[in-house]
Amino acid sequence: MSIVVFKIIYISVIFGLSLFIAMYSTYAERKVAAFLQDRIGPNRAGPFGLLQPLADGLKLFFKEEFIPAKSDKMLFLMGPGFFMITALMTSAVIPFGSEITMDGVSYSLQGTDLNVGLLYIFGVVSLGVYGILIGGWASNNKFSLLGAIRAASQNISYELAMGLSIIALVMLSSSLSIKTIVDQQSGWHWNVFYQPLGFIIFLICAFAETNRAPFDLPECETELVGGFHTEFSSMKLGFYLFAEYINMFISSAILATLYFGGYHFPFVSDMDSSWLRTLLEAVVIFGKIFFFIFLFMWIRWTLPRFRFDQLMNLGWKVLIPLAVVNILLTGLFILLK
């Protein structure tokens, strides 16, 4: 099997997996919410309500396709698509395992090992806001526009703190390649132990970047009806909602790879390379990812929403200075070591 064929199969698998995980995240979210609020949650469609996401998806497909009369039609249709594309692009540089050996040839389980992989993630994340801005503006609706503008200002503010927290990580690992960063964390050398402050800043920024509660102001129902996707219906709305869950999955994957050792786990890293090891590595990284997805949901149903000025104050006056302090401390640590 040539490397190209393998990559095509691998990318298709990751693509399908992202969609599948996003689909079942909606189910998990409702179950977690139900658990936290002492309810049962969806249990009608299939055993334990497991077919609920399929039913929801089907419902969205059959909804009426609606385009507001005075909207910019091209951009209105482009918005959700763009949001979805940027959500799906990030997984290209995340390694979901070390390598598979087939007929003596080993294939790495990573879309591509860019030597600036970290910057690639950052670039794609910074583009995610276009889908929201275009969609919100093209709807020709005040609430949509306000939601979109909130999303943009929120993303820009938190990207800064996120970038600064990553700089400390890069100083420590002296590489921008995701593969190298992961391989430096084998055993218990997880970056979270060396960068606790950086991890917390990154985590908070990840919540803000994915527009999740307590930072879900762009779609704040009480003030903005539905936020930037008020005017969207049918599968266009579905794309927005779905891409948000994909973003959550990707953010969890990034958190797991950058700070929690990726596919490394103390006993798994010591094994000889074999099919079993690769399988265990995949299990390990997906375990970590699912934990973070659960954390996202847990926090959503625990904390109330921020006010917009509080959000901005937190971003600019707390997180950015903290991230700068973190960089200085990391520099000091490296000098003294």
Partner 1 sequence: MIDIIFYVLSALTIISATMVIVSKHPIRSILFLVLTFFLISAHYVLLNAQFLALVNIVVYAGAIMVLFLFVVMFLNLNEEVEKVRHYFPWFAAVISGGSLMLIITSALDKSVLLSPYPVKDYSIGLVENLGSVLYREYLLPMELSAVLFFIAMAGVMLLSRKEKVD
Query: Contact 235/242 with Cβ under 8 angstroms?
Result: no
- Give the residues across from 100 on adjacent strands: 107
First to last CA, the chain: 46
- Residue from 115, 273, 302, 313 binding partner 1 (CB under 8 A): 115
Q: Are 125 and 159 in contact (CB under 8 A)?
A: yes
Gap between the Cα atoms of 180 and 113, Å rounded: 9
Site for partner 1 in 162-191 (CB under 8 A): 176
Per CB under 8 A, contacts with partner 1 among 27-86 are 72, 75
Per the listing, tokens 């992989």 go with 117
- Nearest approach in angstroms of CB 331 to partner 1 is 14
Considering the rule CB under 8 A, would residue 223 count as an interface residue with partner 1?
Answer: no
Pick 26 or 91: Cβ nearer partner 1: 91
Query: Which backbone phi and psi does 106 adopt, to 5 degrees?
Result: -105, 135
Q: Which stretch binds partner 1 (CB under 8 A): 58-66, 125-133, 213-221, 259-267?
A: 125-133
148 touches partner 1 by CB under 8 A: yes
User: CA–CA separation, 306 vs 315, rounded Å?
Assistant: 12
Query: Distance between CA 179 and CA 126 in Å, rounded?
Result: 22
Nearer CB in complex with partner 1: 56/159: 159
Is the N-terminal amide bond of 68 cis, ω within 30° of 0?
Answer: no
Does the protein bind partner 1 through residue 313 (CB under 8 A)?
no
Tokens 């909130």 found at: 150
Of 56, 159, 183, 244, the residue at the interface with partner 1 (CB under 8 A) is: 159
CB of 138 to partner 1, least distance (A): 8
> Is residue 324 a contact residue for partner 1 (CB under 8 A)?
no
Q: How far is the CB of 120 from partner 1 (least distance, A)?
A: 6
User: Cβ closer to partner 1: 123 or 196?
Assistant: 123
Q: Which residue has 């132990």 as its token pair?
A: 193
158 makes contact with partner 1 (CB under 8 A): no
* Single residue of 93, 133, 178, 285 touching partner 1 by CB under 8 A: 133
Burial class, 33, CB count within 10 angstroms (exposed 0-12 / middle 13-18 / buried 19+): middle
Q: Please state the length of the chain.
A: 337
Number of amino acids touching partner 1 (CB under 8 A): 26
Return the range that interacts with partner 1 (CB under 8 A); candidates 145-153, 256-264, 266-274, 312-320.
145-153
Phi, psi (5° rounding) for residue 67? -125, 120
Query: Of residues 77, 108, 153, 299, which one binds partner 1 by CB under 8 A?
Result: 153
The CB density around residue 68, as the number of other CB atoms within 10 Å, is 17
Q: Which residues lie near partner 1 (CB under 8 A)?
A: 72, 75, 114-116, 119-120, 122-123, 126-127, 129-130, 133-134, 137, 140, 145, 148-149, 152-153, 155-156, 159, 176
